[in-house]
Amino acid sequence: MSNWDAIVEGCWNGARVAEETPLAGDASTRRYVRLRLEGGGAPAGAVGMILPGRTAPGEPELPFTDVQRHLAARGIAVPEIYASRDRDLGLLLLEDLGDRPLAAVLSDPATSTAESRRLLSDVVELLAGFVTSPADPRCVAYARSHDEALIRRELALVHSHGLAPSDDGPARPATADPEARATLARLGDALAAQPRRLIHRDFHAWNLHVDANGRLRVIDFQDAMLGPPTYDLASFCTDRDSDRFVDIDRECELLEGYRAALARRGSDLYRDASVMRRDYFTAVVFRTLRVIGRFRFLAIENGDARYLRYLPRMGRQTRRALEALGNDDLAGMLAERNAHFA
């Protein structure tokens, strides 16, 4: 009997794994398999998460299970965890949400305008649910923060790899180019000055799935932490290929929809639309630069060039956000150092 057979049998007496199919991964170290199940009253399928390691010594459980419990208790639509064997085997058995990531649904010409609007409305409600979630100090997400130290580390990667002379290296020394470091630091200060609320931290349309009932479900929330309330919306609207289904008009609708969703939940965040717009485009600049730094790091240090094709799109999003902010200093510095920003 395999590990998955034993776990499935433990959940549903008499159930078995009839078929196991690896699922395509992304830049994560986690791996996934789809399990077709039979017997014992089990659902037709489940997804197995294969973790790169076990829980750390003294850590009672993985952040994934901790955050999942917190979000589920607050009505945020996350997959059910059927079984966790993370400590001994590094395995989790999860609800299968199907094969309809929101990115694919919104990009499908067969999806009606009304359905797209409904789903985008669900996106802002989901985001507002994160941001207004009552704090729980027992949840690991509230012990982590997108603070000044993390911002400095991520901007250091932008400086060393995102602004490296070419996509295949070498990286720039940490002490190089004091002007660039000072200009990036000012961006970091602007982001750090924003309020901090619970955020997903990797919120994009591939991490949202439309289940069989048409309900929007969120995955890959294990890195949730306290951070800028506009960060996840910036991630959704300006991810590596989100320009396929979020144009400028939709972006404006999402910004206003998010502000209205916060107000309906009694939040006093962003009653001033101009403040929200400033914070949003600051988050866009930071996140797009962070992603460019990460993708170029993968290419330079790991020889993984798969994500370089997205750099022109990300660079365009950075330039657009800087124009919205009127930040000529940062725009000029980036354009002088890397063709993606020219």
Tens of pLDDT along 183-199?
999 999 999 999 999 99
Worst-scoring range by mean pLDDT, 66-75, 78-87, 245-254? 78-87
Q: How many CB atoms lie within 10 A of CB 45?
A: 17
Summarize the confidence of residues 90-107 as an average pLDDT. 94
Worst-scoring range by mean pLDDT, 13-17, 23-27, 220-224, 273-277? 23-27
Which domains are assigned to the chain?
16-95 (3.30.200), 102-341 (3.90.1200.10)
Q: Examine the pLDDT at 60 and tell me if it is beyond 80.
A: no
The span from the CA of 29 to the CA of 266, in Å, is 38
Summarize the confidence of residues 276-286 as an average pLDDT. 98
Summarize the confidence of residues 70-84 as an average pLDDT. 95
Q: Are strands 208-210 and 91-95 parallel, antiparallel or unpaired?
A: unpaired
Q: How many CB atoms lie within 10 A of CB 222?
A: 20
Task: Write down the residue that tokens 């396929």 correspond to.
Answer: 244
Say what the pLDDT of residue 169 is. Answer: 86
Summarize the confidence of residues 130-142 as an average pLDDT. 95
Say what the pLDDT of residue 88 is. Answer: 72
pTM of the model: 0.92
The span from the CA of 18 to the CA of 38, in Å, is 6
